[in-house]
Amino acid sequence: MTKANISNNVVDGLTILDLSRVLAGPYCTQVLADHGAEVIKVESPIGDHTRYWGPPIQDGTAAYFTGLNRNKRSISLDLTTDDGKGILLKLIESADVLIENFKPGTMEKWGLGYENVLKDRFPTLVYCKISGFGETGPLGGLPGYDAVIQAMSGLMSINGEENSTPLRIGIPIVDIACGLYASVGILMALNERASSGAGQLIDISLFDTALSILHPHAANYLMSEVDPVPSGNAHPNISPYDKFPTRTCDIYLGIGNDSAFRSLCAHLKIDSVAEDPRFGSNEKRVLNKSALRSILVESMQGFDGQELADQLLRAGLAAGPVRTVREALASEQAISNGCMLEADDYRGVSTPLHMQRPTASGLKHKPPRLGEHTREVLRELGFDSQQIDQLFNDAVVKENDA
């Protein structure tokens, strides 16, 4: 049985069984698939829920699904059947990693639990489980979705305009961060396995993830014991760090130190403001940010926002125009950096990792149809045509939404 090795922090020949659905797990495995991992997406007969989360939907599959599942093969498998469980066990024989995000206890109910079955049978397997709250505590084992976790973790309480009610962050930030944590955890476990020879369990929850990314608000509270509140586009610890209107468009300024503030004032021709004792340090600027904002808004009224942001950037100051998604994806920088993947009717945002010795990043497979590779994978496992046909007749497996 071939197992992945990590050499110079690059994973070669990694084989992943992806039993996860929706976002965190599929995001994790797409990151790894983009860099050469062989990912087999094991779906139930009804498929990943996100296949139908639209519009937009093209050829029966939602954009939500296609954005998370490229470079994977799909086998549709009914794990509630004995034959389905047997196929999964055969798949695990040649796998390095299994990732799932079922409700805690589901794999155990099917007789496929890590501690009581898989750990001893497959001692080198890295098993990653993602759940809403973990298995312990008053909410242990209960389901969780990104927006609900945003609400319960305090993330919504610090998002929104000043004095507004709590507001959901506009992307599923908890799921995405959890997927990234999962990919890091998997690579760490594989690295440890290279010396120990043993696999292990990685247990990660959306709730824990949400608290871990609550920065700087959690750190601020733990030092001051003052409950953070929404601050709109402004930063709670830095000023000026906010969105400002200009004659043509809004721009965002991120002025992180005193030197940058003096440089900003010079570019806006308001040098005297840099000498104002109210704004002499970042701490003072934060305490007097309303007065400072009024001055900056007034000073930028006559500027073309695009030109001003470009001039400030080239002067070493953090500034940029506020863009729409369409504008950002079509920007010269996105094109130059190769941020888009396109092939036939597929368009997606590429991996942001540009490695000197890449593991084969790019588009190898378009997001699969439900069970598209079922026959192919079964043949690789040694099943003959008659056995495969019988599995289809028994509804143990499914292919191409048929």
Residues designated as active site: 175
| 143 cis-preceded (ω within 30 degrees of 0) | no
CA distance 363 to 41: 16
Q: Of the candidates 127, 169, 175, which has an alpha carbon nearest to the alpha carbon of residue 23?
A: 175
Contact assessment for residue 144 and residue 211, using Cβ atoms and an 8 Å cutoff: no
- List the Cα angle 386/389/395 in 5-degree steps: 145
Q: Of the candidates 22, 19, 66, which has an alpha carbon nearest to the alpha carbon of residue 39?
A: 19
325 CB neighbour count, 10 Å cutoff: 7
Q: What is the largest CA-CA distance in the chain?
A: 85
Amino acid (one-letter) located at 23: L
Residue partners of 365: CB distance under 8 A and separation at least 6: 70, 71, 72, 73
CA distance 100 to 118: 13
